[in-house]
Structure 1
Amino acid sequence: GVERKGSPVFGYLRISQQPIRRKMQVYEPDILMILDDSLVVLPATYEGLKEGGTIIMNTVKPLEELKIPSQAGSVAVVDATGISEKILGRNIPNTAMLGAFAKVTGLVDKEILFQEIEASFGAANREAAQMAYDQVKSVEA
């Protein structure tokens, strides 16, 4: 996109067994994936999260520093940055976060996801996704 390098970026994804006809932004998400915990100070980070929603965050910070909103039903954390630095040699937490997403939500078939990650991004990225899948922890909201 046109975002400046290093600036916050928001994206969205709709998942359904039925055809999806809506092509607009998601304003009230059921799940938030936060790849950079420094964004929790921005009001827009948690904006619109549905009551009982799920937050999956790349962090090693204690929960009290994360400003978790009261409507969050569940929170899961994983050190996707540490995993990516260990496995990939640099801070690219995306595929590790996909592994955490698969474990926390159960919305995607883990084996198919991991096969696709390996086919598209290589075996090291699959390993990062698997490690995050194994290490993600649910914490009290």
Structure 2
Amino acid sequence: MIEIRWHGRGGQGGVVASRIAAKAAFYEGYYSQAFPFFGAERRGAPVTAFTRISKEEIKLRSQIYEPDIIVIMDPALVRSEDSWKGLKNGGIVVANSEKLEPMGRPSKIAIVNATRIALDLGLVSEGLPRPNTAMVGAFSKVTGLISLENVKKAILDVLGPRIAKINIDAAERAYNETKVIEL
């Protein structure tokens, strides 16, 4: 089983990103689950979401404390020890950042400026960029667990046709712009 923990802030779409990744994994033939953890439910507050992907049925229903993969959607959270907490040795970190100093012992780091992509494409809500679909595109590239085609299909399914195109563009652009660093 692969366990993914998503770190962001309320309004950035982290919960939706975890759902899109789980749906894309389902299209790949995996079992998957996605669920959020909220503290104070307000825009800008830290939000954690979780995704599990497995070849076998998933019966576990707890939070993820030792993730294989961490996705950090807010650049301000990149330097937070809480974001990196529990990452398995040899894990993967996908970050909305232009550069990254690793904490712990990841085997790969992927960086993409998802905020810039969101702003360029107009993926903004109440003045704040929504980097979520860009981060799913970056996740697809670095992990290889889900194809970009299935990410696009999942975006359409989860978000609906009215807003899917711009979000598919964000995922595709992030996929192409993500820099993967092997450690």
Q: TM-score, normalised by structure 2?
A: 0.69
What is the distance in 2 between the residues matched to 1:9 and 1:89? Answer: 19
Show structure 1 runs of 4+ deviating over 3 A: none
Counterpart of 2:118 in structure 1 is 84
Match of 1:75 in 2: 109
Whether the 8 Å contact between 1:81 and 1:92 is mirrored in structure 2 is yes
Match of 1:57 in 2: 95
**Identical counterparts, % of pairs:** 39
List aligned pairs for 1:1-141, cutoff 5 A.
1=38, 2-60=40-98, 62-63=99-100, 66=101, 68-90=102-124, 91-119=129-157, 120=159, 121-139=163-181, 141=183
| 2-structure distance, mates of 1:58, 1:83 | 10
More strand by share: 2
- Residue 33 of structure 1, CA deviation: 0.2
Distance 1:16 1:73 in 2: 21
Superposed displacement of residue 108, structure 1: 1.2
For 1:117 and 1:105, the matched residues in 2 are separated by 18
TM-score norm. by structure 1 comes to 0.88
Q: CA deviation at 1:54?
A: 0.3
Contact in 2 for aligned 1:88/1:125 (Cα 8 Å): no
- The 8 Å contact of residues 96 and 112 in structure 2, kept in 1 or not, is answered as yes
Task: Write out per-residue CA displacement over residues 59-82 of structure 1, whole angstroms, 9 at most, x where no aligned residue.
Answer: 12x33xx4x113111100001110
- Decide whether the 8 Å contact of 2:78 with 2:95 is kept in 1: no
The root-mean-square deviation of aligned C-alpha atoms, in Å, is: 1.6
Please give the alpha-carbon distance, in whole angstroms, between the structure 2 residues aligned to 1:36 and 1:44: 13
| Equivalent position SS for 2:95 | strand
SS of corresponding position for 2:103: coil
Q: Which whole-Å deviations, capped at 9, do the CAs of 1:65-123 have from their partners, x for residues lacking one?
A: x4x11311110000111011111242110001011111111111321221221342420
SS at match of 2:92: strand
Structure 1 alignment gaps of length 5 or more = none
Structure 2 unaligned runs (5+)?
Answer: 1-37
In 2: Cα distance, 1:135 partner to 1:16 partner: 28
